[in-house]
Amino acid sequence: MSELASQKPADPALAAHVAASIAEARGIYRTLFPTRRLHFVLSMGHDPVWARPEVTEGPHLPRPQDLGADYLGTITCPGPHPDAPEVTIRLAIPRPPTPGELRQTDAPWRPIRRLDWLFRASPLAYEQMRYGAEMLRKRRADRRADRVARPLGRGSALIGTPRPPASDKRPAILIGMHWLEMGGAEKLGFDTVRWALAAGLRVFVVASIPSIQRLADRLPDHPDVTFIRLDRYLPHALWPRYVERLALAENIRAVHIHHCTPLYDSLPMLRMHLPWVQTIDSTHIIEYANGGYPRISGVWSNYLDMQHVISRELVDYMQGTFHAPAGQVVLGRMLDRDDTAASLPPLRLTAGQKTLHVSFIGRLYYQKRPVVVVECLRALDAWATRNGVTLSATIVGEGPFEATLVALLRRHGLSGKVAMLPGKTDIPALLGRSDILLLPSSNEGLALVCYEAVAHGCIPISTRVGSQDEVLPEGLLVPLAPRATIGQTVAAVDAMWRDADLLARHKDGLQQAWARLSADPTAEEVLTPVYRRIAEGGGA
C-alpha cells in the first residue's frame, strides 16, 4: 500500500522556515536561561507574526492542549549540568505571511456598525461625530492623575552599588523600536541604528509589537547589527530579565527606547541591577487618549539619563509637567543638516495660477484623517471649478483606509483627478511638482513631511496640532474640527490664490520658520556625541 498523507515529506521551503524560526527562538531563550535545561513544545501557528509564547519555569506536565492538531513536536536543549532546572517554552511557529499580509496586515477600515448608515449618508458628519468623541476622551484623559514622574531612590553610600563586570566585547547599545514599519518614530529609530554603528557601537535591535517587520531589511547589513525577534517569541513580562541577560552577555552600555513599552518596563531592573547602563529615549507626539509615549517617558523621567525630543512643545511638556531637569531633556530635530537655508528653492504657488496640484503624503490610518483629506479635495475641486482652475491631486500612502478612499473618490467623481500612489513613491519628486501639501491630521508631533515640502517648493497646510506651529505660519494652520478643517483649508488656498501680498507673507513666514528649525540641533548632532562617549566607555 502507498504511504499515508501524514507521512509525506514537508515542503522544503516550509521546512526551512520552521527550522529558522526554531533557531531564532532557541537563541533568545538560551540567552534568557543560560543555566537551564530548555524544553520547547512546538506547534504550527496560524498567525503570521506572533508565536504565542508561554513559559513555565519548573517541572511541566504535558496537557491535552499541548498536543492538539497543530502539534509539531518537542526539542530539549540540555543545560550546563544534568540536574539543571527545567524551563518549558510553548511556541506556535508563525506561518509564512501571504502577499496580502506582506502588503497590509490591518483589515480594511469600516465605520462602527451602529453608525454605518451615517457614514454612507455623510462621511463628513461621521468624521465630525468621531472628532467630538475624541475631544471628549481628551477632556476626560486630561483629568487623569497619572502625569507624575515616578520617584527613584538613589540608594545610600553605605551600601555598595553594582559595578559593570569586565567584558572582552566592544560596547554595545540596545535600540528598542515600536516596530519596523513605516512611520516617523521608526525613521528616527533606523537613523539611530546607523549613527550608533558609525560611532563604533555594536547594535542590538528589538521591537515591541509583533508584526511582519516589513522594513527589517532596511537595517544596515553589518555584522555588528543584530535584530532579535523578541516581538515574536518572548512575552513582554520576560523582557526585563532578557534585557539583563543580554546586557551582561553582550556588554550593552546603553538602551535607547523608541516607543518600545517593554523597554520602559525594564527601566527599574536596569536602575537596580545594571545602573551603569545609560538610558535614553526619543519621543514625538503627545496623544489625546492618554498622552502617548511622551507621557510614558515623563512618568519614567527619573529613570532616564537622556530624554530626546523633536519639538519645543515636548521640551516644555517634559520640564513643565514632569519637572525633568533641563540638561536631561534634549531637543534634536528630525532633520538632515544637508538641507541648508541657502539651497531652499522658491515656493511654487503663484497668485491666479490656472492649475493647482495638491498632495497628501501619509499612512492611511485614522491619525492622518484620510476621509477629511478626500473631503478637502472635494471642496477644493468645487473651488477650482468656480475659479477656472484645473485641479489635480496625489494621495500617497497605504493602510486600512485605502479601500474607503477609493470608494469615496469614485463617489465624489474625483477618481480621474486624484492619483493614489503607494508609500514607496519618490516623495521629493512629487513635492517638487506639487503646489500644496495637505496634512489634516488629528495629531502630529512635528511633521517632517511639512519641512520636506518647504524644502521642495511646496506650501503645506496643516491642522493646528502638536508642534506644527513651529514649522507653519498662522495663516497655514487650520482648526481640527473636520468641517472647519475643510472650510479653512479652502479659504487659505483661496486667499493665497487671490492675494499676492498674502501669499508672499506666507512664503516669507515659511522660510523664516524653516530657517529657525534649521538652526536648531538635529537629532544626529545631539545623539552621535552621546553614542561616541558610550563607545569610548563613558556615559550619556
What does the binding site for other proteins look like in residue numbers (CB under 8 A)?
Answer: 1-6, 8, 10-11, 13-15, 18, 44, 46, 68-70, 72, 95-100, 102
Q: Which residues of 59-96 are buried (b: 16+ CB within 10 A; e: fewer)?
A: ebeeeeebeeeeebeeeeeebeeeeeebbbbbbbbbbe
**Given the C-alpha cell 551582561, which residue does it identify?**
248
Structural element, H or E, at residue 72: strand 71-77
Minimum CB–partner distance for residue 84 and other proteins (Å): 30
Exposed, middle or buried: residue 425 (CB in 10 Å: 0-12, 13-18, 19+)?
A: middle
How near is the Cβ of 69 to other proteins at its closest, in Å? Answer: 4
Strands 278-283 and 202-207: unpaired
Q: How far is the CB of 213 from other proteins (least distance, A)?
A: 17
**Cα–Cα distance for residue pair 390/348, rounded to 1 Å:** 16
Distance from C-alpha of 202 to C-alpha of 200, rounded to nearest angstrom: 7
Based on CB atoms, which residue is closest to other proteins, 1 or 61? Answer: 1
Residue type present at position 406: V
Nearer to other proteins, 19 or 148 (CB): 19
46/137 with CB nearer other proteins:
46
Pairing of strands 86-93, 54-57: antiparallel
d(CA 36, CA 77): 9
Tell the smallest beta-carbon distance from residue 18 to other proteins (Å). 6
Sheet containing 252-258: order of strands: 225-227, 202-207, 172-177, 252-258, 278-283, 306-309, 329-331
Q: Which is nearer to other proteins, 12 or 160 (CB)?
A: 12
> What is the C-alpha to C-alpha distance for residues 116 and 338, in angstroms, rounded to an integer?
48
Beta carbon nearer to other proteins, 69 or 157: 69
Select from 300, 244, 302, 301 the least CA-distant residue to 273: 244
Three cell numbers written together for 537:
566607555
Q: Which is nearer to other proteins, 10 or 121 (CB)?
A: 10
Is residue 353 within 8 Å of residue 366, measured between CB atoms? no
Q: CA-CA distance, 295 to 287, in Å (whole number)? A: 9
72 or 118: whose CB is closer to other proteins?
A: 72
Q: Quick one: DSSP state of residue 150?
A: P
Q: How far is the CB of 186 from other proteins (least distance, A)?
A: 24
Instruction: Decide if 189 contacts 175 (C-beta within 8 A).
Output: yes
CB of 14 to other proteins, least distance (A): 5
Shortest distance, position 8 Cβ to other proteins, whole Å: 5
Nearer to other proteins, 14 or 500 (CB): 14
Q: Which is nearer to other proteins, 2 or 343 (CB)?
A: 2
DSSP characters over 396-450: E--STTHHHHHHHHHHTT-TTTEEEE-TTS-HHHHHTT-SEEEE--S--SS-HHH
Least Å distance, CB 20 to other proteins, is 13
> Minimum distance between the CB of residue 65 and other proteins, rounded to whole angstroms?
12
Shortest distance (Å) from residue 106 CB to other proteins: 16
CB closer to other proteins out of 70 and 146: 70
Beta carbon of residue 42, minimum distance to other proteins (angstroms, whole number): 10
User: Which three cell numbers, joined as nine digits, stand for 213?
Assistant: 517587520
Cβ atoms within 10 Å, residue 532 = 16
Task: Pick the closer one to other proteins by CB: 95 or 483.
Answer: 95
